[in-house]
Structure 1
Amino acid sequence: MSLPKLLTATAVTAAAALSVTGCTSASVDDAKQAATANSAPSAEVAAAPLNKAAADLLPADVKAKGTLTVGTDPTYPPFEFYASDNKTVIGLDADLAKALGETLGVKVEMVPATFDAILPGLSSHKYDLGISAFNVTAERKKNADFAEYQLSGAALAVKTGNPKHLDVDPMTLCGTKIGGEKGTTQGIETLPAWSKTCTDAGKPAIDIQLYPTQDEANTALASGRIDGILSGELGMAWASKQSGGAFQLSSDKSYLPTPVGMAMAKGSPLAPAIMAAVKALVTGDTYKQINAKYGLPQSVAVSPDAVDARGAQ
């Protein structure tokens, strides 16, 4: 996440005051302001061609509506963040969502939400899709289906110079304050497991600090209130470059590369159309151009055979 605006006195003070109280309207507004400090690369991306076979699989009500409603957390550049108008969601996932709509011949409406509210919103039919850099895990697949479009591991961001010599190794983190975003795999699965590794070895637990938005976690690290952040490697690499030297990745190591997918309610009638459209996308030029626009290596790309993540749990 970007730090120039995020590190204004107002944003830092507000994030510090709100980080222990949960998500409030003020914290969302501060995160929204913070996210606009980013600017998307200006490279042009060709429109994705309509795939009639995929479009024909859309449920009748979606065809009639002509729009897919997509829940997203726009505080996680380069995947999703706000444009300078403070309301338009831009970023890699926004570009992919647009390309998905072009492939299916429908419009896409990106609806801002806190990350931990998106999957429940799918189950309650508030959103048709969730596109917000979701790691596809066995736990999440119990309640949602995913169309995989990328691979990403976790990375640790630390203060510049890494004064405490931390890394993606739990034994280096015992007794330190490590942040993350609420609802993320790193926050609810990885860090608690790593903390247990510490205590099982007779060492102090990791002091896990979870924040309503990724921007608030980044502010906490830059202002010295935590020692590190565990989050997706691509997002943390972007945030580190945007931080103005406030923090860096601990190393070039990543932890447990896992698929990233577009989420749908379990058993959603949309799944056949979305799977077909994403399979078409990942073999086309638009997908390659979007990855290149955001500087992603070819290693993050998935094959069409890996897209459908509705298999046995």
Structure 2
Amino acid sequence: MTARTQRTRLLAACAVAASVSLVLTGCGSSKSSSGSSAGAGTNPSATVGAVTADPTLAALVPADVKSSGKLVVAADASYAPNEFKDEKGNVVGMDVDLADAIAKKLGLTADVQNADFTSIIPGIAAKKYQLGMSSFTDTKEREATVDMVTYFTAGSAIAVKKGNPDKIDPKDLCGKKVAVQTGTTQADEIKDTRNPDCTKAGKPTIPNDGDKFPLQTDVTQSLIAGRDQAMMADSPVIDYALKQTNGQLEKLGDTYDSAPYGVVVDKNSPLTKAVQGAVQSLIADGTYKQILTKWGVAAGAIDKSEINAAKS
């Protein structure tokens, strides 16, 4: 991934026609996030151990945040299993549980709010949110304006319809119709890497620099409906979509370009060190692994949280 510059969030897809049967999410328009039931490999009802405040870490929390008693956390709830809406409309997922645990370590309560992905970093700068936890890839570009606290590792992946009817080569998407979420790492990959390579090779480019959608649910719908031939997203999101679509999709090739996710914090905020300490403490006491296991994403676990550790 080079940047969810945003890595994409791919959640479940809705039924797009009577002939398309998905176990996936509840249907929603492209203007709102869709709900989703948990897929195979997840256990949303699993119990996670109680988290208690760490006085040393709590002492690092800025006075205004401490006095409010809460951490306001932004997440784009269209990217299961990392962040999505359940059948009751509640925002749930790996990032939500981690945000809750981080807040408790700091003696606070997490207030997780659904937000458009592209509005989250500007919202951090405007003090609307204290944290952004929405599968953000840690990149040098992002680190120029915000702090990033690493907490997970994911890569990019490609999905096609079961059986790969268009015989697509994951290393050669030139001329193919590919769906991606707007503003994601995968969208940047098409524009900055794949299409220039297609041009150099004398091949047709991926049309429109990829068909871009505001929500990952819309990306998945487009592939299911046959409007696109492939979709690109973060690896845990692709894996979840495969489980949710009842075998209608398959992963094409291997996961590639693995990179860390980062919690977004305002640049040079004392909260950055507090959050990094909270993540490391959750790793040490086992809570972190419990949360990842609950959502079926333990393969992305890290053993050390770092601040602004992007390699590119």
Indicate the TM-score class for this superposition, using the shorter chain for normalisation: 0.7 to 0.9
Tell me which moved more, 159-168 or 101-110.
159-168
Q: Find the aligned partners of 1:286 and 1:28 in 2 and give their Cα distance.
A: 35
Query: Please, what TM-score do these two structures have when normalized by structure 1?
Result: 0.86
**Which residue does 2:3 correspond to in 1?**
none
**Which residue does 1:80 correspond to in 2?**
83
Paired residues of 1:100 and 1:277 also in contact (CA < 8 A): yes
Q: Find the aligned partners of 1:58 and 1:282 in 2 and give their Cα distance.
A: 20
SS in 2 for 1:97: helix
**Which residue does 1:194 correspond to in 2?**
194
**Alpha-carbon deviation of 1:135?**
0.8
Paired residues of 2:54 and 2:106 also in contact (CA < 8 A): yes
**Alpha-carbon deviation of 1:231?**
0.8
Tell me which moved more, 227-236 or 260-269.
260-269
Aligned in 2, Cα 1:200/1:45: closer, same or farther, shift over 3 Å? Answer: same
Amino acid across the alignment from 2:307: D
Q: Which runs of 5+ in 1 are unaligned?
A: 13-24
**Which residue does 2:74 correspond to in 1?**
71
**Alpha-carbon deviation of 1:81?**
0.6
**Which residue does 2:15 correspond to in 1?**
7
Aligned in 2, Cα 1:125/1:168: closer, same or farther, shift over 3 Å? Answer: farther
Paired residues of 1:181 and 1:211 also in contact (CA < 8 A): yes
Paired residues of 2:16 and 2:225 also in contact (CA < 8 A): no
**Which residue does 2:133 correspond to in 1?**
131
**Which residue does 1:58 correspond to in 2?**
61
**Alpha-carbon deviation of 1:9?**
4.1
Q: Find the aligned partners of 1:148 and 1:262 in 2 and give their Cα distance.
A: 6
Runs of 4 or more above 4 Å deviation: 37-40, 310-313
**Which residue does 2:50 correspond to in 1?**
47
Paired residues of 1:96 and 1:287 also in contact (CA < 8 A): yes
Residues 285-311 of structure 1, C-alpha deviations (whole Å, 9 max, x = no match): 11011111122244x22222x422268
Q: Find the aligned partners of 2:226 and 2:251 in 1 and give their Cα distance.
A: 15
**Alpha-carbon deviation of 1:266?**
1.8
Paired residues of 1:145 and 1:310 also in contact (CA < 8 A): no
**Which residue does 2:301 correspond to in 1?**
301
Equivalent residue for 1:222, pick from 186, 208, 224: 224
Going by fraction, where is helix more abundant, 1 or 2? 1
Q: Find the aligned partners of 1:206 and 1:192 in 2 and give their Cα distance.
A: 12
**Which residue does 1:243 correspond to in 2?**
245
**Which residue does 1:291 correspond to in 2?**
292
Paired residues of 1:175 and 1:203 also in contact (CA < 8 A): yes
Paired residues of 1:75 and 1:81 also in contact (CA < 8 A): yes
Q: Which runs of 5+ in 2 are unaligned?
A: 1-10, 21-27
Paired residues of 1:241 and 1:248 also in contact (CA < 8 A): no
Amino acid across the alignment from 1:7: A
Q: Find the aligned partners of 1:312 and 1:214 in 2 and give their Cα distance.
A: 26
**Alpha-carbon deviation of 1:123?**
1.4
Paired residues of 1:180 and 1:210 also in contact (CA < 8 A): yes
Q: Find the aligned partners of 2:261 and 2:153 in 1 and give their Cα distance.
A: 6
**Which residue does 1:275 correspond to in 2?**
276
Residues 125-149 of structure 1, C-alpha deviations (whole Å, 9 max, x = no match): 1111000011111211111111101
Equivalent residue for 1:94, pick from 90, 93, 96: 96
Q: Find the aligned partners of 1:311 and 1:83 in 2 and give their Cα distance.
A: 32
Aligned in 2, Cα 1:106/1:223: closer, same or farther, shift over 3 Å? Answer: same
Residues 159-214 of structure 1, C-alpha deviations (whole Å, 9 max, x = no match): 11112233542xx2000011111111111245531111111110000121110010
**Alpha-carbon deviation of 1:116?**
1.2
Paired residues of 1:35 and 1:215 also in contact (CA < 8 A): no
**Which residue does 1:155 correspond to in 2?**
157
- For these two proteins, the number of residue pairs brought into alignment is 289
Q: Find the aligned partners of 1:270 and 1:55 in 2 and give their Cα distance.
A: 10
Amino acid across the alignment from 1:182: T
Matched, 1:264 2:265: yes
Higher relative contact order, structure no. (Cα contacts within 8 Å, ≥ 6 residues apart): 2
Equivalent residue for 2:31, pick from 17, 28, 31: 28
Q: Find the aligned partners of 2:212 and 2:67 in 1 and give their Cα distance.
A: 41
